[in-house]
Chains A and B, each alone.
Chain A
């Protein structure tokens, strides 16, 4: 890996399903991720964020998806040219993934100690004793209380939060350099979610793991992201640093989403009425012509109906896929409108 090349780099990733990949669930997604940083992939259900992640991991069932990209490089390796055997060698050791429902990825009939050891021995030749020591160590890292005893526990004997910790342990046991977390806290209670988010950032500091964190919860994004990429209807609409996205959103969807979310911040007066994003998320068969968001966008100009917007830079490291990006003056006038 040379110094100029980002750790993970995607250019125009597209994924299609169905015959000849006709259902294009992901279109032209491009972003970079630096080693040891956290990128949040934000979007609603069906926006293509999970498909993007599984494409990086190469986890689509053979023949089910058509993945194309101008570039898909991780740590200097071209993932697109890797065959299934090479990919499965990289999964676990270089990149790993955790999911929303840990029960679906844990075998209910095996102890967690066994499953963790297996995950380790798949990639590294270590003796059983050394493996057990590593398992114990990683369980302590993910803050499993009474870890030595819990190694003999079965998944159903653990709480949801504990299971998600086990999943994180299993993903990290071979010290991968990229961790993809697909809504790992969505099914958890907020107090437990706070613990898991804290744990992830702590492990990131320790191991230097880069994280792609997939979520629809803007609060979580604000909590952990370095960079944010916003997806809508299968395509990326805006990307930038977490401060850019939250303080100076420039795409109509990002701005709308931020204002439409009911949040509680202590000491701040809650607004009387939430701002709505009108309409519904379009299905892939009924995408409007031009910008996919055009029918729901309050800033849409006639030209937005004509052509799909290209990327344009609004600031250093902050790009938007909007021909009418929101600037301060427009945001202010929009705010005045809502006040009236």
Chain B
């Protein structure tokens, strides 16, 4: 492996779910992304845009209908059971709901120990030490090791979830909305902890979130999803300060700002996101798009590079400056 090869690469992933009534939910439609070692990629989008399904496929918890997920160059779908088991060691997950993702009948100690036992890491005595080390690393006291999840606060539970995810020394962590269930005054603690651990352990991070504020803090790159597709991707600061896709622009405009003196005059985007069951023809964003043209209704815009390191899926990308249109 050279430094340039990605840690994880997903290519042309497609995942459709049949509903009970013979309809199809188009959860993920042709998504490609890659994460370099040590990089943090944020996956941003609203509910139902397919970001969690994408996370599950990357975790090998769900199989794509089409496309491949390659971890260190190896296709997850082509792995045997044993190979997949050992591959899982290097990709771990942090969940949204810290209470539901911890078995209520297991103590903190047992929860962090589970992955160590599964991969037979060290001797039993070493595992005990490593559990205490991990708990300390995430800011839990040794006397909390015997506690059960319901005896911990929400923030402490999420710390415990992080300790479990770090136990196998993974290379990549998929964090699915890791702070959105936490109290506001606790979020900063957990975000800082994640950043510190990432830097210290040289982890890659796939950070799935709908919170632009958190994302702007934590990520190197950002991929914006809308109805199962990535519509814009690039370096976080550039995308957030100069969005090229009208959805990204509308999304950013919609985020309430902590500046009472700079109130918006109106809601930036009209309408609801359409259902992933009956996708609109052409560009999925067309019905809500303020700058849609004829072309948009019959051809799906490809996610194309506009400038190096930046991809946008819009027929009109680069034609207009979006800041102007969204303020009109």
A residues with CB within 8 A of B: 44-45, 159-162, 189-195, 197-199, 216-223, 225, 242-243, 246-247, 253, 256-258, 260-267, 270-271, 273-278, 280-281, 296
Q: How far is the CA of A296 from the CA of B213 in the complex (A)?
A: 24
Minimal Cβ-Cβ distance residue in A for B48: A189
A264 with B153: CB separation less than 8 A: no
Chain A min CB distance to B269 (Å): 4
- Per-residue interface assignment for chain B, residues 252 to 291, with 1 indicating a CB less than 8 Å from any chain A CB and 0 otherwise: 1111111111011011111011000000000000000000
Stretch of B60-68, B182-190, B304-312 on the interface side: B182-190
Interface contact B259-A266, CB-CB below 8 Å: no
**Contact A260–B185 (Cβ < 8 Å):** yes
List 9 A-B residue pairs with CB atoms under 8 Å apart, sorted by A's residue number: A189-B46, A216-B184, A222-B263, A243-B260, A260-B184, A260-B185, A266-B241, A277-B188, A281-B185
Query: Distance in Å from the Cβ of A159 to the closest Cβ of chain B?
Result: 4
Complexed CA–CA distance, A253 and B185 (Å): 9
Could you say which of B189, B212, B264 contacts A194, with CB atoms under 8 Å apart?
Answer: B264
Provide the residues of chain B in CB contact with A220, threshold 8 Å: 256
Question: Are A194 and B256 within 8 A (Cβ)?
Answer: yes
Given contacts A217-B184, A246-B258, A273-B192, 18 further A-B contacts (CB under 8 A): A44-B183, A189-B47, A190-B212, A190-B255, A194-B268, A195-B270, A216-B184, A219-B213, A220-B256, A222-B258, A247-B260, A260-B187, A261-B187, A262-B188, A262-B191, A263-B257, A264-B213, A266-B240
Q: Is the CB of A264 within 8 A of B212?
A: yes
Is A262 touching B267 in the complex (CB atoms < 8 A)?
Answer: no
Closest to B215 in A: A264
**Bound: A194/B185 CA distance, A:** 23
| Nearest chain A CB to B314 CB, angstrom units | 17
Give the docked Cα–Cα distance between A198 and B258 (Å).
Answer: 16
Residues of B within 8 A of A274 (CB): 188, 191-192, 217
- How far is B261's CA from A76's CA once the two chains are assembled, in angstroms? 33
Question: In the complex, are the beta carbons of B188 and A222 less than 8 A apart?
Answer: no
CA distance A278 to B153 in the complex (A): 13
Shortest CB-to-CB span from A94 to chain B, Å, is 29
Asked if residues A219 and B256 are in contact (CB atoms below 8 Å), the reply is: yes
- In the bound assembly, the distance between CA atoms of A103 and B19 in angstroms comes to 22
Q: A189-B210, A191-B269 are in contact. Are A263 and B258 (CB under 8 A)?
A: yes
Asked, given contacts A191-B251, A191-B268, whether A270 binds B260 with beta carbons under 8 Å apart, the answer is no
Q: Does B228 contact A (CB under 8 A)?
A: no
Q: Is the CB of B254 within 8 A of A159?
A: no
Give the residue of B155, B212, B255, B272 whose beta carbon is less than 8 angstroms from that of A192.
Answer: B272
The listed residue (A191, A265, A281) touching B259 by CB distance below 8 A is A265
The answer to whether A261 touches B213, judged by C-beta atoms less than 8 angstroms apart, is yes
B260 touches A225 (CB 8 A): yes
**A276 touching B189 by the CB < 8 A rule?**
yes
Which residues of chain B have C-beta atoms less than 8 A from A192's C-beta? 272
Say how far A69's CB is from chain B's closest CB, in angstroms.
27
Q: Judging by beta carbons under 8 Å apart, are B260 and A246 in contact?
A: yes
The reply on B216 being an interface residue by CB < 8 A is: yes
Q: Are A223 and B185 in contact (CB under 8 A)?
A: no
B156 engages A280 (CB within 8 Å): yes
Q: Which residues of B contact A189 (CB under 8 A)?
A: 46-47, 210, 273
The distance from the CB of A274 to the nearest CB of chain B, in whole angstroms, is: 4
Distance of A242 from chain B, by nearest CB (Å)? 4
Q: Give every chain A residue within 8 A of B269 (Cβ-Cβ).
A: 191, 194-195
Indicate whether B250 reaches chain A with its CB closer than 8 angstroms: yes
CA distance A85 to B260 in the complex (A): 40
